[in-house]
Structure 1
Amino acid sequence: MLVPSAFAQTAAAPAASGGFLGTLIGIAPLLLIFVAFYFLLIRPQSKRMKTLQNAIAAVKRGDQVVTAGGVIGKVTKVEDAFVEVEIAANTRVRVVKATIAEVTPPAGAKPAND
């Protein structure tokens, strides 16, 4: 007997809380969470992806690249969809441009101790 009366009391409370203002106050925390996620996660990630896509589109001979598989090499030839990468002396592989994870200009290398 106690359970049905408890459900009846809680069901009537939201209806009496006050229309549009009550709904707005209920939705406000969800909107604030979405705005926080947008500025902290979504926006920076989209900026990173845009800069990576621009770097991949502008890759040229002599640049050092890292592929998604972790292979590091120096670009020797650039085509529309492929890049030829020298991974060791006289060892060249063709890599799909979409699998490039990082592009470093030839003069951009810093010493490891700095």
Structure 2
Amino acid sequence: MELLGALLPLLLMFAVFYFLLIRPQQKRQKKIQEMHNTLQKGDKIITIGGVHGTIDAIDDDRIIVQVNGEQKLTFDRQSVREVVNPD
């Protein structure tokens, strides 16, 4: 009985950490991974470095981004922060 009394606060603390920290982070990671998997040529994007451009070409792990209508830069697919396509 004393063991249960000693473990109960630890279990409650773990549950609070799970629901307030771990689970939301897992949801964010899943959403980001889904966004990276659905990137397409023509998507307007912003990279984690703040570069705005349009995807010109894409393969499994790299994208070529057209910036200012003429310059093309190569990035890792994981460097895309968000897709800003107008709906």
Residue by residue over 1:52-71, the C-alpha shift from the partner in whole angstroms, topping out at 9 and shown as x without a partner, is 11111110012122222222
Determine the C-alpha separation between the residues in 2 that align with 1:103 and 1:32: 39
Moved over 2 A (4+): none
Residue 26 of structure 2: aligned partner: 46
Residue by residue over 1:13-61, the C-alpha shift from the partner in whole angstroms, topping out at 9 and shown as x without a partner, is xxxxxxxx11211121111111111111111111111111111111001
**Structure with more strand by fraction:** 2
- Name the larger-Rg structure: 1
What is the TM-score of this pair, normalised by structure 2?
Answer: 0.86
Query: RMSD of the alignment, in Å?
Result: 1.4
- In the alignment of these two chains, the number of paired residues is 87
Residue 15 of structure 1: aligned partner: none
**Structure with more helix by fraction:** 1
Residue 3 of structure 2: aligned partner: 23
Asked whether the 8 Å contact 1:56–1:103 carries over to 2, the reply is: no
Residue 107 of structure 1: aligned partner: 86
Residue 62 of structure 1: aligned partner: 42
Report % sequence identity: 34
Determine the C-alpha separation between the residues in 2 that align with 1:45 and 1:66: 21
Q: Structure 2: any 5+ residue segments left out of the alignment? A: none
Taking CA–CA contacts closer than 8 Å with sequence separation of 6 or more, which of the two structures ends up with the larger relative contact order?
2
Q: Tell me, what secondary structure is at the counterpart of 1:107?
A: coil
Residue 92 of structure 1: aligned partner: 72
Determine the C-alpha separation between the residues in 2 that align with 1:31 and 1:79: 45
What is the TM-score of this pair, normalised by structure 1?
Answer: 0.68
